[in-house]
A and B are shown apart, each in its own frame.
Chain A
Amino acid sequence: MYTLTRPILIFLCLGVAALVLFPLVGSEFYVGLLIRIMILSIFAISLDLLIGYTGLISFGHAAFFGIGGYTLAIFFQDADSINFWIALVLVLSCSALVALLVGWISIRASGVYFIMLTLAFAQMFYYFFFESPDFGGDDGIFLFSKPEILIGSTSLIDLEDEHNFYYFVLAWMVAVYLILSMILKAPFGHVIVAIKANESRVRALGYPVQRYKLVSFVIAGTLAGIAGFLEAAHTGYVTPAYLGWHESGIVMVIVILGGMGTLFGPILGAFVIVLLQDFLPNFTEHWQLLMGGIIIAVVLFLPKGIAGLLYRLSNRLFTSKEYADVSQNSGDTPATVDVREQSL
């Protein structure tokens, strides 16, 4: 159950085009900053699957981000080179496995207890890595090379080059977005959206609800693992801070600010948060105070976040025509009729 209105689709395509062109004109500093933003975006979209679509408020999502990073660091800390394919398989399987374990236990609780369980798990992992000298303790682990993407013996793309790494991360961000929108349109997506709306009714209609919640949790955890892997590969180190509750909190703020249950909203949220963190200190020492004020204003005045604002704007600009188009289509698709705000 995932539909975009045409103006939003055009906006997103223009956004991607701008990102593709940026390295040609932008400074090295901003290329690096955008890499960080896009990695955060992947992390945030994965959380949106839980918060915005399945109705699982996970406050420990950084655990999987950290597991992704640490998997890369632990397996390759003494290696001369990193084979991307091996690293990817390891990261995917480790983060999926940990998500399966954490999810299997956490989904037994609901509401505030679910939040507490996910937070507790993330803090357990945090202290585990913080206090394990073998895994770098509080200093973390450094990596001395970037992954090499080999096909046969030829290198597909040289990730030591920052611009290449930029395009590599951009491709991941677009891919993760497309994968999730595909999942949401598929039968599975219809079930989890219904679970968020009314869990007991979904069960009464014949669905083993817990299984769907667990699968959603594992998908989200695995994608967050990819984000952590990219972050570790980019910065060349991992520290326990990757898994801290601060990181879980930031990503949740990004999702809420960008617009829960919209997938592209969290991407916008990541851009806004990181760019504000970058710009605001130029104006005032007390920029965090200002940042807090901005977040409060968005939550109060834009209930569906930045994405909701975009929906409203695009609707005001392209109103009646678009509305008629969608109503006609929805005769044979389970798509939402209301284009003003995306409720599904």
Chain B
Amino acid sequence: MSEVILRTEGLCKHFGGLQATHEVSLSFERGVTHGILGPNGAGKTTLINLLSGELAPSSGKIFFKDYDITQATSDKVSRIGIGRSFQKTNIFADFTCFQNCWVGAQSRLSSSMRFIRPARHLREVHRRTDRALQLCGLAERRNIQASSMSYGEQRQLEIGMMLATEPELLLLDEPLAGMGSEESLKITELLKELAKEHTLILIEHDMDAVFAVADRLTVMVNGAELETGDVAQIRNSTAVQEAYLGSSEDAA
């Protein structure tokens, strides 16, 4: 067994009376791509928001390596090496691609409270920005304003900004949301590429993509973990088929 990089213990989150996440205890191993599946309202995005510090849990704990990050805010979570991308494209629309990634890359300075030397002289930030653009496949589009790009490219940029922060662990919230099949393929290839060097936690509706990319899967229903296992085990699990795969076919 490889090392556990991220772990939750009895994680709960409720909004008023609504139990969005209920007693979730999961372990994520270094280098393993872990997919999280579940029908709408299963609490997947809430879980990501808890892991990334966007939300504070009602109870339970989160550990990154050996650090307790339960109460850490999203900026601290980012700084210790957990990057996240958003389901709804969350970019700086008026900035160019390069500038979008620049903001991510610059965040790895020990501090940006620097007032005198122009930022463009920072070679290290340049290098990280270029690398992120290269990885997410937007190197050719660096000077295009983000709002004028296609939806698919904006999704690529979304991932590029996260990569610019050079995270160890990536939290990806539906990176394929709303994409056409050709664009989906492109991103799926990118995810496979990233999986070689990073630990990925991937929320995704697109079954084919999840099965293609993930090593392990967790299925969530009504805010709770239903089953965790490798891809073959989840495919063949009757409980999962009833709860999720079956119902999604009905819905379709």
Contacts and interface: CB of A to CB of B under 8 A. Distances in A.
Interface of A: 1, 182-183, 185-191, 194, 197-198, 200-209, 211-212, 215, 327, 330-338, 343-344
Contacts of A187: 106, 109, 112-114, 119, 122
A334 B54 contact: no
B75 A201 contact: no
Q: Which 9 pairs of residues, A with B, have the shortest CB-CB distance?
A: A206-B78, A206-B107, A187-B112, A185-B118, A187-B114, A197-B92, A333-B120, A343-B94, A187-B119
Given A205-B104, A215-B113, A343-B94, A334 B119 contact: yes
A76 to B, nearest CB: 30
Contacts of A338: 145
A290 B79 CA distance: 54
12 contacts: A182-B118, A186-B116, A187-B114, A190-B103, A191-B103, A194-B92, A205-B103, A334-B98, A336-B99, A337-B96, A337-B145, A344-B94
B118 A206 contact: no
B99 A206 contact: no
A186 B112 CA distance: 9
Nearest to A208: B75
B74 A204 contact: yes
B94 A209 contact: no
B115 interface: yes
B7 interface: no
Interface in B46-64: 52, 54
Given A197-B94, A205-B161, A206-B79, A186 B114 contact: yes
Nearest to A198: B92
B91 interface: yes
Given A327-B143, A330-B143, A334-B102, 17 more contacts: A182-B116, A186-B119, A190-B103, A194-B95, A194-B103, A200-B74, A201-B91, A204-B75, A204-B84, A205-B78, A205-B161, A211-B113, A330-B96, A330-B98, A334-B96, A344-B94, A344-B95
B205 interface: no
Contact of A197 (B79, B93, B102): B93
B214 to A, nearest CB: 23
Interface of B: 52, 54, 73-75, 78-79, 84, 86, 90-96, 98-99, 102-104, 106-109, 112-120, 122, 126, 142-143, 145, 161, 165
Contacts, number: 114
A207 to B, nearest CB: 6
A197 B54 contact: no
Contacts of B126: 332
B140 to A, nearest CB: 12
A198 B161 CA distance: 13
Contacts of A332: 120, 126
A330 B93 CA distance: 18
Contacts of A335: 120
A337 B74 CA distance: 31
A202 to B, nearest CB: 7
Nearest to A204: B74
Contacts of B122: 187
B154 to A, nearest CB: 13
Contacts of A333: 120
A202 B91 CA distance: 10
A198, A205, A209, A338 pick with most chain B CB within 10 angstroms = A205
B75 A209 contact: yes
A204 B77 CA distance: 8
Contacts of A186: 114-119
A334 B125 CA distance: 11
Contacts of B52: 204
A161 B94 CA distance: 48
